[in-house]
Amino acid sequence: MNMNESLLKVVHETLAESGTIARHYFRQSLAVTAKRDLSPVTLADQEIEAAMRKVIHQHFPEHSIVGEEGEDQLGTGAYTWTLDPIDGTKSFISGLPLFGTLICVSREEQFLIGAIDMPILNERWIGVLGQGSTFNGTPCKASDVTDIGSATLFSTEPNMFNTGQAERLKKLESAVRLRRYGGDCYSYGLLASGHIDLVVEASLHPYDWMSAVPIIQEAGGVITDWQGNALHRNSEGSVIAAGTPELHSAALALLAGANH
C-alpha cells in the first residue's frame, strides 16, 4: 500500500467515525453557543472533531492536524490534515441535512486529498491529486457549461459578502440562468458532479474550502480566489469555482477586484 492509499484508507475510517456521531446528534436538542466570531457551535461539532483527531493521530502521530474547533496539533512530518467537523452548523441545528464533514490532506502547499462527506444523505465526494474525483466511489465530472447565460450559480448566504463584493456579484447574478443560495459544502460536491456550474463565496476560512480544491480540480473544474489566483492556506477567503475554464474566466471578469 502506497502513501496515498494509506492516507485514503484513514480518510474513510475518520469519516465513518464522524458520521456516526453526526447521525447520533442530528435533530436532537443541543445547546448552541457562539464563538468569538459569533458563528454557532454545538457539542456535536466538538465531539466530531475530537474523534476525527483521535483516529488520525492513531495512524499518523507525526502528522499535523488543524481543525475549526480545536488547537492546532503540530507534528514532525510533512503532512497536515485540515478538518471541519460540521460545515453548515446553521443547517445542522435547523434540522436540515445539508451539512457536511470536510477533510483535506496536504503535503506542504500541495492539496493531496479532499473529502466532502454528507453523513445524513450518505453522499461522499473524494478527490485525489492525479487520480480523479469520485462520488460514492464512482468517478464524477464537472459540467461542460461554458456560457454564463446557461449557468447555475450557488452561494451559501448573502451576508458572506461585503458591500463591494455584493455590488459586483449583482453583475454575475444578472448574467446567469439560475441563482440559488444555501448548500455550504454541498454546493462544491454538486459542482464536482456536474449538477451546478458556479460557486462564488467570500469570508471563508481555509477549513471551509481546502477540501473542495482537489475534488473540483480532479473533476475537471477550476477553483481560485476572486483574482484568479491559486488558493493557498493563507488566501484571504474569496472563492470562485466553475465547471469549466471558460465559465470560470467569464465569471471572474465580472468579479475581479471585488475582494476588498
CATH number at residue 132: 3.30.540.10
The x, y and z cell numbers of residue 163, run together, are: 458591500
Secondary structure tally for the chain: helices H, strands E: 8, 14
| Pick from 223, 218, 54: nearest CA to 139 | 218
Same domain, 160 and 116: no
Number of Cβ atoms within 10 Å of the Cβ of 149:
9
Number of Cβ atoms within 10 Å of the Cβ of 34:
9
The x, y and z cell numbers of residue 194, run together, are: 456536474
The x, y and z cell numbers of residue 177, run together, are: 440562468
Do residues 72 and 65 touch, judged by C-beta distance below 8 A?
yes
Q: Strand pairing partners for 139?
A: 134
Number of domains in the chain: 2
Same domain, 36 and 118: yes
Same domain, 95 and 159: no
Domain edge (last residue) among 98, 117, 139: 139
Same domain, 165 and 105: no
DSSP label at 73?
A: B
Do residues 206 and 233 touch, judged by C-beta distance below 8 A?
yes
| Element housing 117 (H / E) | strand 110-118
For residue 260, being part of any structural domain is answered with no
Q: What is the CA radius of gyration of the chain?
A: 17
Same domain, 124 and 154: no
DSSP label at 171?
A: H
- Amino acid at residue number 245: P
For residue 131, being part of any structural domain is answered with yes
Structural domain span for residue 228: 148-255
Same domain, 95 and 169: no
pTM score of the predicted model = 0.94
Domain edge (last residue) among 80, 111, 139: 139
pLDDT at 13 (0 to 100):
99
Same domain, 124 and 182: no
Same domain, 181 and 226: yes
Can you give the pLDDT of all 260 residues of the chain as single tens digits?
788 899 999 999 999 999 999 999 999 988 777 666 656 677 899 999 999 999 999 999 999 999 988 899 999 989 999 999 999 989 999 999 999 999 999 998 899 999 999 999 999 999 999 999 999 999 999 999 999 999 999 999 989 999 989 998 999 999 999 999 998 999 999 999 999 999 999 999 999 999 999 999 999 999 999 999 999 999 999 999 999 999 999 999 988 744 43
Q: Strand pairing partners for 241?
A: 199, 223
Angle at 7 between CA 140 and CA 18, to 5 degrees: 80
Domain edge (last residue) among 139, 170, 203: 139
Q: What is the CATH number of the domain that holds 247?
A: 3.40.190.80
